[in-house]
Amino acid sequence: MKSYEKLLENNKSWARESIEKDPEFFNRLKNTQTPEYLWIGCSDSRVPPDSITGTLPGEIFIHRNIANMVVNTDLNMLSVLQYSVEVLKVKHIIVCGHYGCGGVKAAMTNSSLGIIDKWLRNIKDVHRFNREEVDAIENEDEKIDRMIELNVKEQVMNLSKTSIVQRAWKNSNAPDIHGWVYGLNNGLIKPIFELKAGTHIDPLYEYDNL
């Protein structure tokens, strides 16, 4: 059997077992989804949102990219954000990074890696905003881990700077935004930062005509 064929076999078993456990499972999901959460995570194969949070199909709306970034010109991310906030009305947005993130590591080197340089440059900005703190850490792994936490925090802030989130905060006092970091070594998620709906952000970024 070719390796990818195994996936199709697994899929058949999964579908069968899902129905055995809950005969209405697919019937309930086929026409509608009402997820409470938007997840913005890293593409890393070791951080699968459903498995690590014990959630089922229908529970999390997911966007993933390298190093769980919220880049304000990223039409893909913005479309996911708008749809999940304005149509699905998610109650929580979770930005989940992970320790040992290769994207953050790469952004802390001076190697050019091709087109991904342009993406990673957004992480270099996070380093620049926090230069004193990050550069004072001598241990290389600890330095990267701290950058991973600071990057998650920055992406949470970036969400709050969007008119999509600010309008939702004003109109429906939701969603709350959470910054988490997952440990590859122990499987545990560490909450590190939170912005409750309606939090006042830097006035430079606050729109007053939404």
- The answer to whether 107 contacts Co ion (rule: CB under 5 A) is no
Is residue 190 within 8 Å of 97, Cβ to Cβ?
no
CA 168 to chain centre: 19
- The answer to whether 101 contacts Co ion (rule: CB under 5 A) is yes
Which residues inside 18-57 make contact with Co ion, applying CB under 5 A?
42, 44
What element of type H or E holds 34?
none
- The answer to whether 152 contacts Co ion (rule: CB under 5 A) is no
Residue 101 is a catalytic residue: yes
Instruction: Quote the tokens at residue 133.
Output: 């703190």
Residue 98 is a catalytic residue: yes
Residue 42 is a catalytic residue: yes
Choose among 44, 47, 66: nearest CA to 117. Answer: 66
Residue 46 is a catalytic residue: yes
- The answer to whether 70 contacts Co ion (rule: CB under 5 A) is no
CA 90 to chain centre: 14
Choose among 173, 174, 150, 167: nearest CA to 206. Answer: 167
- The answer to whether 147 contacts Co ion (rule: CB under 5 A) is no
Catalytic annotation, pick one of 46, 121, 135, 141: 46
Residue 44 is a catalytic residue: yes
Which residues are catalytically annotated? Answer: 42, 44, 46, 98, 101
Give contact residues for Co ion (rule: CB under 5 A): 42, 44, 101, 103
